[in-house]
Every structure is written in structure tokens, then in C-alpha cells.
Structure 1
Amino acid sequence: MEFLVDMVTTVPDGTSEEAVADMRAREAVRARELAALGHLVRLWRPPLAPGEWRSWGLFDAPDAEQLEQLLASMPLRAWRRDTVTPLTPHPNDPGPGAAR
């Protein structure tokens, strides 16, 4: 099952630049791991307001419970609010690899 996840990160006040850099580096490693496992399918950066830290992710997981476990394994989850939208196929979906 696929899920669209709107991920909004808010860094706590007083967090050092070094702590932010470390968290982002650990998040990048985990994102690559999830991608290699086939769970993180795509990531997008939507239009952002000044100072906003937000991503949209397309995840593949057997169910919502498994998705929650995947999201919880990501380091930035400590600072992040996720909004999950389960996706179902549309009858007119051209499918993966269709000409754009």
C-alpha cells in the first residue's frame, strides 16, 4: 500500500547548529536505507514559506501500522509532525513508467 506523508519539521528553540547538522545527517542515512528496502519511494520539497522545513514523501508499506514503524525509525521524527494520506489506485492511473 502506498502512503503520501506530509512531513513538517520544527527544530526546538535553542538547538545548536551542530545538533541540527547531526540530525539531518542521520536522517539522510535512514532515508537511503528505507529507499534501498523499497519503503521510501520518492521525496519532494513543496513550495516553502521562509523558514519552513517540510517534505512530502511517498512510502510503500504493507499497512498503516508498518508505516508508523518506518516513520518512527527516522531520526527527524523527534522534531517532526507527519500527516499521512493512504493512497489507492485510480482507475485511470497510467502506472509506473508511463510517459509524462
Structure 2
Amino acid sequence: MEYLVDMRTTVPEGTTDDEVADMRRREAVRAAELVEQGNLLRLWRPPLAPGEWRTWGLFRADDADQLETVLASMPLRAWRTEDVTPLTPHPSDPGQPPR
């Protein structure tokens, strides 16, 4: 099953630039692992307000429990809130294989 995840990150007050850079580095490493595992399919940057840190991600998981495990494994989860939308195929989706 595929899921669209709207991820909004808020860096805690008092966090140093070095700590932010380290968190971003660790998140990038974990994202690459999730790509290799087939759980992370795409990432987008939606239109952002000044100072906003937000990402949309397309994830694949067997079910909501597996998705939660995947999202919980990402370092930025400590600073992030998420809205998850389960996606089901549309019968007219041009990306679906012919039947």
C-alpha cells in the first residue's frame, strides 16, 4: 500500500546549527536506506512559508503499522509532526499497468 505523508518539522528552541546539520545528515542516511528497502518512493518540497520546514513523502508499506515503524525510524521524527493519507489506485490512473 502507498501512503502520502505530510511532514512538518519544527527545530526546538536553542538547537545549534551543528545539531541541525547533524540531524539532516542522519535523516539523509536513513532516507537512503529506506529507498533501498523499497519503503521510500519519492520526496517533494511543497510551497513553503518563510522559515517553514516541510516535506511530502510517498511511502510504501504493507499496512499502517509497518508505516509507523518506518516513520519512527527516521531521526527527524523527534522534531516532526505528520499527517498520513493512505492511497488507493484510481481506475483511470495512467501509471497503472493495463489489465
Q: Which residue of 1 aligns with 2:47?
A: 47
**Aligned residue runs from structure 1 range 1-100, under 5 A:** 1-95=1-95
SS in 1 for 2:58: strand
SS in 2 for 1:13: coil
Please give the root-mean-square deviation of Cα atoms over the aligned residues, in Å: 1.1
Describe the superposition over 1:32-82 as per-residue Cα deviations: whole angstroms up to 9, x where unpaired.
000011100000000000000000000000000000000000000000001
Distance 2:19 2:79 in 1: 12
Give TM-score, length-normalised by structure 2: 0.96
Distance 2:19 2:8 in 1: 18
Give TM-score, length-normalised by structure 1: 0.95
- Number of residue-to-residue matches in the alignment: 97
Instruction: Write the letter of the residue equivalent to 1:44.
Output: W
SS in 2 for 1:56: strand
Runs of at least 5 residues in structure 1 that lack an aligned partner in the other structure: none
Runs of 4+ in 1 over 4 A off after TM superposition: none
SS in 2 for 1:6: strand
Give identity over the alignment, percent: 73
Runs of at least 5 residues in structure 2 that lack an aligned partner in the other structure: none
